[in-house]
Structure 1
Amino acid sequence: MDSPREVFLRLVNGVCDGPYDELAELYAEQTHVSHPFHPLSPPPLLSRAELHEHFTGAPPVARTLIRKPVDITVHETADPEVIVAEFAYRGHVAETGETFTVPCVFIMRIRDGRIIESRDYIDAIASARAWGQLDSLLAALRPAEEADADR
């Protein structure tokens, strides 16, 4: 059985290299994955099936990110199931050569080699910029009345 550190490393490397259809297998059947600092407050992902869709669904844009996790520090805690992982996704956009760094902190509870809970703190602005989605993120954040006035 993989340690929490090994599961985390399989996850972040798998996000970069695939195969994406196997990533959901790192999670328990019932799980709780949240993105507390995401500006659009998406609902948590609560099952392996939802995570499978999350990892294998079509990307938001036709951009290819070539990336690797870097600057990885994994902090073990007094609870052997819980780790705090600091890292960044660093890479470039294949189509443009534009470079990016997306800082992240994951707080994960991993039991019996499966992720049962994860709070993923990802720099949403850096991520949106890398994916070419910064304008759509900003548009989604505008109050409805301001967006209507812009039309």
Structure 2
Amino acid sequence: MPQETIAIAADHAGFELKELLKAELAAGGYKPLDLGTAGPESVDYPDFADKLAAALKDGLALRGVLICGTGIGISIAANRHRHIRAAVCHDGTSAKLARLHNNANVLALGARLLGPEVAKDCLAAFLATAFEGGERHNRRVGKLS
């Protein structure tokens, strides 16, 4: 089975958590595609949301992870792209439901709001859960793009 590539990007507030989750991805058998940032120096989160959106559009990855201070700004920036369904998640349940019911293809996390263990739980649930599909979920998700 080929190794799935997961794109991951963060602004300066999310840099440390990005590095931790990048290691989690690799340990879980995924291939992380690190789209930056490369350090804690101040950067603009929309630039990294755009990089991740481009990577998904170009087929470099099917799913991604975005991290900023709250997860909110970077998810708003990502969701400006029609092919992105970014969900800000705060626990494993919200990450699971984002995949199950909304077919989210991007997990957005807030590094200033979540501890590392909760962030890992979110990532694990996001990666392990498939879209449930069905008439009502397909209809609703279809209206998003």
On whether the aligned pair clears a TM of 0.5, the verdict is: no
TM-score normalised to structure 2 length: 0.30
More strand as a share of residues: 1
Q: Which has the larger radius of gyration?
A: 1
TM-score normalised to structure 1 length: 0.29
